[in-house]
Structure 1
């Protein structure tokens, strides 16, 4: 506890707005000291470790997987029987049938309650894209029930990606307040080459599509974060200019695994 507080220092040392460190462990906290908002996987952190981060000036969001389950999670075997298919490019992961009551209950009443109970400031919700892959009303309703369950925990909810679902929800309900507070969109400007896990620039049509999408979400009054994967200084400068103009927040990682330490040139200054 004392060592972590010392590693984080005070909020006077915070230089950057946002960092996503899903592959980080408690031993990596020293690499987060300069970031105001950090995204971690709180399943691997204790309440005391999260408290130390917050006390030293950081806002802490935790990853939570709404629409798929990884084989390294301790509860994988419990839900393997309701999975729908392998997640492309992530062989250790399978899409889940989110329409099943047992999954909804587990993710909201057990997993999210445990994570929020550790004192995090919000949830970074991954894989609402299950609706994109399985676009039917049962899956749509399952995603909606889970997100509303998260919101009922009185916590800040960031949806990672999820353009098909979020757009459809807005179309049906003319609001997003019931399901989310913010959008984190990956690879608006950058692109991952999955064959060799290298990075390049995205196609202009893809960039335009996702710019329109985050503008749509912003129009509903929601915060917008960008998560890019690139080491290209010119592309990072382009991302920075775009976010400055729009009032958005970004982090550009040099590692697909989102490990610490961070890439400083891809970090947005406060």
Structure 2
């Protein structure tokens, strides 16, 4: 999930919405708009839980979002990979572990590296000072790709550090890490919830289209999210380009389980509709 994508992809996905009847349903409960520019985002109103990339917002911007009636402002924070469009990218290339498939502007990083952990600590403090209400942490999936005790403990250490800001934490993805953390009971009282992308939908990166998740993969995520619910985690799901029929299924599933959802028309997460 990244903020920098090409204009060409935007046109392709807009065409899919028009041609294929993809739903662009927007709710006021939950919106993930980490790709929306601050000048547009500060005009948003009445969203209960709004996720932005607050690194690019000022303290005044965050205050305006609250003034607009947006209740909880969560900031994106990438804890598991380094991105070329961040100002400090060059300073952390030595922590890189390897290529991030489908996202050429990113590399996985060694989350156990002390320099990286200090970076995340400083980022969390700066974001907190801007007046955000919580953290939306991405790329705990580094533990899936580099499945070692060192990486697991590195992620746990990062969570403890971010938790000292006394703000709720939502972890995006990271099912392998979260499953192990629940098994070890390592995140109770520290992680508020999980956001799972593409439970019902999937992204076809080779031809830049959306589709429906296979029954087998969907079943895996449904069981995983049920486990998260039993553990006491709030559950959010984020879907891309769902058809009208899939939108109905997503809405009904979330209503049955007390989950919260967002359906984005854009992989860039820069549009309400």
TM-score w.r.t. the length of structure 1 is 0.88
- Confirm whether residue 47 of structure 1 aligns to residue 53 of structure 2: no
Tell me which of 75, 87, 90 is aligned to 2:100.
87
| More contact order relative to length (CA 8 Å, sep ≥ 6) | 2
Following superposition of structure 1 onto structure 2, how do residues 55-70 of structure 1 map, counting pairs within 5 Å?
A: 55-58=67-70, 59-70=72-83
**Aligned residues, how many?**
247
The separation in 1 between residues aligned to 2:210 and 2:76, in whole angstroms, is 23
Q: Is the 8 A contact 1:66 1:107 kept in 2?
A: yes
Give the SS at the match of 1:131.
helix
The separation in 1 between residues aligned to 2:187 and 2:114, in whole angstroms, is 23
Unpaired segments of 5 or more residues in structure 1? 1-13, 264-270
The separation in 2 between residues aligned to 1:131 and 1:64, in whole angstroms, is 17
TM-score w.r.t. the length of structure 2 is 0.87
Q: Deviations over 1:223-250 (max 9, x none)?
A: 1100000241110111000000000000
Displaced runs of 4 or more, over 4 A:
none
Aligned partner of 2:145 in structure 1 is 133
The separation in 2 between residues aligned to 1:30 and 1:149, in whole angstroms, is 29
Q: After TM superposition, give the deviation of residue 179 of structure 1 in Å.
A: 3.7
Following superposition of structure 1 onto structure 2, how do residues 58-207 of structure 1 map, counting pairs within 5 Å?
A: 58=70, 59-108=72-121, 110-173=122-185, 176-207=187-218
- Confirm whether residue 258 of structure 1 aligns to residue 258 of structure 2: no
Unpaired segments of 5 or more residues in structure 2? 1-25
Q: Is the 8 A contact 2:201 2:242 kept in 1?
A: no
Give the SS at the match of 2:104.
strand
